Structure 1
Amino acid sequence: MDIKQLEFFVIACERGSLSQAAACMYTSQPNVSKTIRSLEHELGRPLLERSGKGVSPTVYGETVLEYAKMILKATATISSLAVPDMKNSIRISTYPSNMIARLLVDFYKEWGHIYSIEHHEGTAEDITEQVHQGISEIGILYVAQHQVQTFQHILSHKSLEFVPLKTKKICLYVGPCHPLYHEQSVDFSELQELKFVRGVRDFFSMDHHLETVSMGVIDTKNLNHAAYSNSDHLTINLLLYTDVCSLGLDFMYEPYSQYDLKALPINGCEPFLQIGYVKDPARILSRQAEWILDRFHQML
């Protein structure tokens, strides 16, 4: 028996659905089902009643559910006690962003004689989990507007809070070798003909919602992805030296601009991505975290 099994079981009971539990835990429904089945096998009795309408705990499951919640609460308490001393460092998790990297360089220039920097990049799941575990004090990320309420609900299980700062559009990033480099904008319909580099995709990634914001003009499954990578270095080099492009958050802070890349607006695309930060509302932010967030907000 492990914590992940108990988490999956508790969320499935609370949501009444394996698919909704999967969304909450950033995983697939088969994985949730398999994990709970393994717990049932270990305990020797069924925990869930499964039907076409969803799932609910069995009588035995109700008893296990009560103790599982107690265990998870105790685990969260122990985790909070393990939060490292934040006085002499800034610990931050973010989505991959050259703009944020440059912001941390400025932080070092101003505060490097006092504070060290610990920076982690990842998906929404990685970022929230690192804040939850106390690895990072704050996490900067983005989610679609219509997902904010769901995202806040997911975070409530980890006793975290998402603070939105700005709503941004997506755009098309191209380099000097791209045929659209000298254009002023691009239509949704043109994206089907282009070659893309795509990062790691999760439930909250921007291309997950591209079909919705394009009103069905494009099918993201048919986009030509020439490369997949979570490396910002590879992405930038592909953009600079090939005809590959990428979809990205329309966020270019001019003083930090250092590459010959162009952000093309997508015609008809309204702002729909909420960019903000995740924190533990029970803890007062450190001076260094306040500095980062204040500068980041100004950049937006």
Structure 2
Amino acid sequence: MEFRQLEFFVVACQHGSLSKAAECLYTSQPNVSKVIRTLENELGRPLLERTGRGVSPTPYGQHVLEYARHILNDAAFISSLADRNQGRKFALSSYPSNMIARLLTDYYKVWGDRYTVEHREGTVEEISNYVSEGVSEIGVVYVAQKQLQTFKHILSHKKLQFEPLDVKEACVYVGPNHPRYHDTSIDFSELSQLRFVRGIRDYFSMEHHLAQVSVGAISTEELTYAMYTNSDHLSIDLLLHTDICSIGIDFLHPQYEQYDIKALRINNCEPFLVIGYLHPEDQILSESAQWFVKEFQDIL
């Protein structure tokens, strides 16, 4: 079995036509048919139902199709991990973050002629996996103080270490179209009256953190979420052009003061979010990673 066979089969199913698959794959229709027939012969069962209107997967073919897609996606991901710069790269994982984006831009200005950058965004679990698997050198995360011991216990099984850099408060970000734009703070009890965009949802999400300090004041289940996304660009556009707000950490990179977005302090919300980075145990950071951590800490 070859990747080529799986690719031809998947593309044919996607387009429902061998001729359209041939156009997409820059080959001939007879060749597409021949490659898929070879795969069917190897598996001993038909994968496609062929009619005058086109092709569609058989029940068995539908089952194979699901696995074929996973195999091709995994192969593409593995290929993306190839080190084409002979080790001269800085790999970082983080939450979606304007500040991280700005720091990576500054990184390029200093190190761009010597290193390439690989940046991935994800949940805490994904970030920690990227670091433990060697995909990323470090991972930037924030964790509630009450969750810190649990978090460190999870990391110990992955042979990772968490280096705290600072402690911050949570806040509510609003744009010029929000009715609370001219305010400086807001009470917990008022949050249920607002509409939010919510980011990545996991055990260490911002909303879960908020629940740790607002017990008895408001349940996060009472909050109204109008949009779910892990796109930083969409979140910014919503803040700038609608009455939707977001819950975040109370700090912005100075370069992002260009956006007409304000942070409302949540009254009686003590600093409780620990911000830091992950790295493998007993591993010394590269010179470029040390530079990034220092710049990150200076901003915090």
TM-score normalised by length of structure 2:
0.70
- Structure 1 residues 202 and 222: alpha-carbon distance in aligned structure 2, compared to 1, 3 A threshold: same
Q: In the alignment, what sits opposite 1:120? A: 120
The amino acid across from 2:221 in the alignment is K
Distance in 2 separating the partners of 1:104 and 1:184 = 30
Q: Offset at 1:281?
A: 2.1
Q: Return the alpha-carbon distance in structure 2 between the equivalents of residues 207 and 229 of structure 1.
A: 14
Q: How does 1:254-293 map to 2 (within 5 A)?
A: 254-293=254-293
Q: Secondary structure in 1 aligned to 2:260? A: coil
Q: Are 1:170 and 1:269, in contact at CA under 8 Å, matched by a contact in 2?
A: yes
Equivalent position of 1:69 in the other structure: none
Match of 1:187 in 2: 187
The CA distance in 2 between the partners of 1:86 and 1:102, in whole Å, is: 26
Q: How far apart, in 2, do the equivalents of 1:124 and 1:238 lie?
A: 24
Q: State how far apart, in whole Å, the 2-side matches of 1:151 and 1:235 are.
A: 27
Q: Kindly tell me the number of residue pairs found equivalent between the two proteins.
A: 219
| 2-structure distance, mates of 1:255, 1:236 | 14
Q: C-alpha distance in 2, partners of 1:105/1:209?
A: 29
Report the Cα distance in structure 1 between the residues aligned to 2:252 and 2:224, rounded to whole angstroms. 25
| Aligned equivalent of 1:162 | 162
Unaligned runs of at least 5 residues, structure 1: 1-81
- Kept after mapping to 1: 8 A contact 2:161/2:281: yes
Measure how far apart 1:111 and its partner are.
Answer: 1.1
Q: Look up the equivalent residue of 1:234 and give its one-letter code.
A: L
Q: Quote the residue 2:132 is aligned against.
A: 132
Distance in 1, matches of 2:123 and 2:216, equals 26
Partner in structure 2 of residue 100 of structure 1: 100
Shift of 1:83: 10
Query: Hey, what's the Cα distance between the residues in 2 that align with 1:105 and 1:276?
Result: 20
1:215 Cα deviation from its structure 2 partner? 3.2
Contact 2:170 2:210 in 1 (8 A): no
Letter in 1 for 2:299: M
What are the residue-to-residue correspondences of 1:46-85 with 2, within 5 Å? Answer: none
Q: Provide Cα deviations, 1:164-208, integer angstroms capped at 9, x if missing partner.
A: 111111000000000000001111111010000001211111211
What residue identity is the alignment partner of 2:262?
K
Query: SS state of the match for residue 244, structure 1?
Result: coil
Paired with 1:218 and 1:196, the residues of 2 have a C-alpha distance of: 15
Q: In 2, distance between residues paired with 1:268 and 1:209?
A: 15
- Whether the aligned pair in 1 keeps the contact of 2:160 and 2:279 (CA below 8 Å) is yes
Matched residue SS, 1:183 = coil
User: Equivalents in 1 of 2:212, 2:255: separation in Å?
Assistant: 33
SS at match of 2:142: strand
Map residues 204-219 of structure 1 onto 2, 5 A cutoff: 204-219=204-219
Contact 2:98/2:253, CA 8 A, preserved across alignment? no
The one-letter code of the counterpart of 1:214 is: S
Amino acid at match of 2:201: R
| Alignment partners' CA distance in 2, 1:86 and 1:152 | 33
